[in-house]
Amino acid sequence: MSVLTMGVSTVTTQVYAGQRPGTSGLRKKVTVFQQPHYLENFVQAIFDVVPELKGGTLVLGGDGRYHNRAAVQTILKMAAANGVARVLVGQGALLSTPAVSCIIRKYAAVGGIVLSASHNPGGPDGDFGIKYNVTNGGPAPEKITEAIYQATTTISEYKTYSAADIDIESLGEYTLGDMQVIVIDPVSDYAELMEGLFDFSAIRAWFASGKRMRFDAMSAASGPYATRIIEGILGAPKGTVVNGIPLEDFGGLHPDPNPVYADDLVAHLMATNAPDFGAASDGDADRNMVLGRNFLVTPSDSLAVMAANAKLIKGYAAGIAGVARSMPTSCAVDAVAKKLNLPCFETPTGWKFFGNLLDAGKVTLCGEESYGTGSNHVREKDGVWAVLFWLNLLAITGKSVEEIVTAHWQEYGRHFYSRHDYEAVDTAAANGLMAHLRSQLPSLQGKNLQEQGLGAFTVALADDFAYDDPIDGSRSEQQGIRIIMTDGSRVVFRLSGTGTEGATLRVYLEKFAADVAQHGVETQKALHDLIVIADQLAQIKTRTGRDAATVVT
Ligand code: VG1
Ligand code: CO
């Protein structure tokens, strides 16, 4: 049933179960989002929970995946019916996640809607997602995502506006009822922000001197940003950016910038006559992987190197206030913070937990082990920003990636690090595994694992990580089981909050080596004892029925 008044209609709907946002918004199969009213219910819940949107500005765009354009048209009409004054929408429905954050802040928007399932595959059989960002430009904090979810559990109607689709393929201004729609260039505001942070002339000179880079945009959202900035403004030769045109199915590939899914890039950087620098970004351009010739950089090390060298970069030359990392991220940045006498915060997984610290001026740089780094320039992690940071560092030091990272290890020690993912595991088995681990926590405390033949470790702390936000006092519990050894080595277990099939178990492994003589050891070898301990304690093989991890990064 639908009642029409002045173009605005109220449509009767019924509740869909399971619309609770996870680590980063609501993510489901495209086919789930295509069900009648499914997207509309969630969008109406946003308008109901954030009444300030009425009369305010909303930023709207996505990572270019299948269903983005259709969803943008639906949301524009609902925004008009819900009294939004102005929508800034990216041309072609495209806006990277960090660009949304930048544009919300620059134009004082009330918030933004990002249509993305980030690093998850796209296409008609792939994934889709929606995320609400608040006035500071960052992901909505848990109290808002929870309120949105609660609203979806009682929803009975939503508002929409009857009109023809807006032409979002070309720049321009339109009206939809009383609402103004401005189709904006997705790149220019973001590019301007980057120019203020980095020494573009030094990077230009680096490219002009014959240095080479390969940026793999993985047929996703970073393509237009990297092409315009790196090839356009910074003068890198054409062809530096590959897979630079966003495709609705990402060319059938998995737009997750890690050595497994960006294996083509890794192969190019390991080849003879490899470029000096390589980088890749994910579906919505908030993640980054950076690598040098014959040299991979872990995201945890990347964050630590950035913190240690921030004073060399224009935008951070005045000094950084502090650093933050998600709990499973390695302690490499902690070592830098200690030496530089900087505050260092440990938060749960997900960028939304950095927002308060950034807003309060407590931290300047943040990072996650999942190929995400960022700073206070926006309130999202930022893939292209991280790549420009590294380019700037290479350009002004004249050093190679390998030289920078190995010198860093010499100074701070090396934190060997790896994440083992077991994807699409049976949900009950995964929950059982976590419950089994939880039940062992009290008895693990102080335990000498060597006595059980489990390697030379004694447990210093075994707990289920809980976070008390130092700014707003909110508490987040059950954020991952961590087993920390007396030498600082760690094994962490979490279930993913972004997957769309069964459960994904993430096992995070970390071991510190101060001794330079050990720095050349292969990572999985260095972590071998911890891998055995993780399997024994969690009974991974028997409970998941898997012999090996699906993805090792
Ligand atoms: C994963 C990562 C987490 C990241 C999140 C969103 O979450 O582990 O570090 O913040 O994805 O990244 P989970 O719950 O699956 O472990 V993205 O690039 O999807 O916005
Ligand atoms: Co992403």
Task: Kindly state whether residues 177 and 242 are assigned to the same domain.
Answer: no
Last residue of a domain, one of 166, 186, 206: 186
Atom number in ligand 1 closest to CA 350: 10
Question: Contact, 93 vs 61, CB < 8 A?
Answer: yes
Ligand showing the shortest atom-to-Cα distance for residue 117: 1
Contact indicator for 310, 316 with CB cutoff of 8 Å: yes
Using CA positions, which residue lies closest to atom 1 of ligand 1?
498
Q: Are residues 46 and 75 in the same domain?
A: yes
Which ligand 1 atom is at minimum distance from the Cα of 506? 16
Torsion of CA 107, 109, 111, 115, to 10 degrees: -50
Same structural domain, 83 and 160: yes
In this structure, the answer to whether residues 475 and 521 fall within a common structural domain is yes
CA gap 398, 275 in Å, rounded:
15
Regarding whether 245 and 219 lie in a shared domain, the answer is yes
Q: Where are the alpha helices (DSSP H) in 371-481?
A: 383-397, 401-412, 427-444
Q: What's the full length of the chain, in residues?
A: 553
Among protein residues, the one with the nearest Cα to ligand 1's atom 10 is: 350
Q: Which atom of ligand 1 is nearest to the CA of 504?
A: 15
**CA 494–ligand 2 middle distance (angstroms):** 19
- Distance CA(39)–CA(13), nearest Å, equals 11
Q: Which ligand is nearest to the CA of 370?
A: 1
Q: Look up the CATH number of the domain holding residue 536.
A: 3.30.310.50
Taking the centre of ligand 1 as the mean of its atom positions, its distance from the CA of residue 460, in whole angstroms, is 28
pTM to 2 decimals?
A: 0.95
Residues 173 and 286 occupy one common structural domain: no
Distance set, CA 246 to CA 63, 64, 96, 414 (Å): 8, 6, 11, 37
CA distances from 525 to 199, 483, 509, 530 (A): 39, 20, 12, 10
Find the Cα–Cα–Cα–Cα dihedral 150, 153, 156, 161, rounded to 10°.
60
CA–centroid distance, residue 516 to ligand 2 (Å): 34
Considering the domain architecture, whether residues 53 and 87 belong to the same structural domain is answered as yes
Atom number, ligand 1, closest to the C-alpha of residue 120: 19
**Nearest to residue 417, comparing CAs of 481, 488, 508, 479?**
508
Distance 222 CA to ligand 2 centre (A): 10
Q: Verify that 152 and 254 share a domain, yes or no.
A: no
Handedness of CA 366, 372, 378, 383 (dihedral sign): positive
Q: Could you give the C-alpha distances from 412 to 331, 407, 514, 531, in angstroms and in order? A: 11, 9, 7, 24
Both 144 and 249 in a single domain? no
pLDDT of residue 6: 63
- Which residue minimizes the CA distance to atom 3 of ligand 1? 350
- Residue 28 CA to ligand 2 center (angstroms) comes to 15
Nearest residue by C-alpha to atom 17 in ligand 1: 118
CA distances from 149 to 38, 48, 283 (A): 13, 11, 25
- Judge if 108 and 215 occupy the same domain: no
Q: What is the CATH number of the domain that holds 112?
A: 3.40.120.10
Residue among 114, 349, 481, 500 to mutate when testing ligand 1 (max atoms within 8 A of CB): 349
Domain count, the chain: 3
Looking at the DSSP bridge assignments, the partners of residue 513 are 414
Task: Give ligand 1 pocket residues (Cβ under 6 A).
Answer: 23-24, 118-119, 282, 286-287, 326, 349-351, 368, 370, 372, 496-498, 506
Please give the chain's pLDDT, 553 residues, in tens: 455 556 899 999 999 999 999 988 999 999 999 999 999 999 999 999 999 999 999 999 999 999 999 999 999 999 999 999 999 999 999 999 999 999 999 999 999 999 999 999 999 999 999 999 999 999 999 899 999 999 999 999 999 999 999 999 999 999 999 999 999 999 999 999 999 999 999 999 999 999 999 999 999 999 999 999 999 999 999 999 999 999 999 999 899 999 999 999 999 999 999 999 999 999 999 999 999 999 999 999 999 999 999 999 999 999 999 999 999 999 999 999 999 999 999 999 999 999 999 999 999 999 999 999 999 999 999 999 999 999 999 999 999 999 999 999 999 999 999 999 999 999 999 999 999 999 999 999 888 887 776 778 999 999 999 999 999 999 999 999 999 999 999 999 999 988 788 899 999 999 999 999 999 999 999 999 999 999 999 999 999 999 999 999 9
The number of the ligand 1 atom at minimal distance from the alpha carbon of 24 is 6
Q: What is the domain range of residue 261?
A: 190-412
Which pLDDT value is given to residue 391?
98
Chosen domain end from 412, 432, 449: 412
Looking at the structure, tell me whether residues 28 and 84 fall in a common domain: yes
Ligand nearest to the CA of 498: 1
Q: Whose CA is nearest to atom 13 of ligand 1?
A: 496
416: left (phi > 0), else alpha (psi -120 to 50), else beta?
Answer: beta
> Which member of 9, 101, 118, 281 is catalytic?
118
**245: nearest Cα among 220, 226, 225, 264:** 220
| Residue having the nearest C-alpha atom to atom 2 of ligand 1 | 370
Q: What is the pLDDT of residue 240?
A: 98
Contact 374, 291 (CB under 8 A): no
Active site includes 474? no
Nearest ligand 1 atom to the CA of 494 is 16
Ligand 2 centroid vs 410 CA: distance in angstroms? 32
Residue nearest to atom 19 of ligand 1 (CA): 118
How many whole angstroms from 251 Cα to the centroid of ligand 2?
Answer: 17
Of the three residues 134, 156, 186, the one that is the final residue of a domain is 186
* 254/274 same-domain check: yes
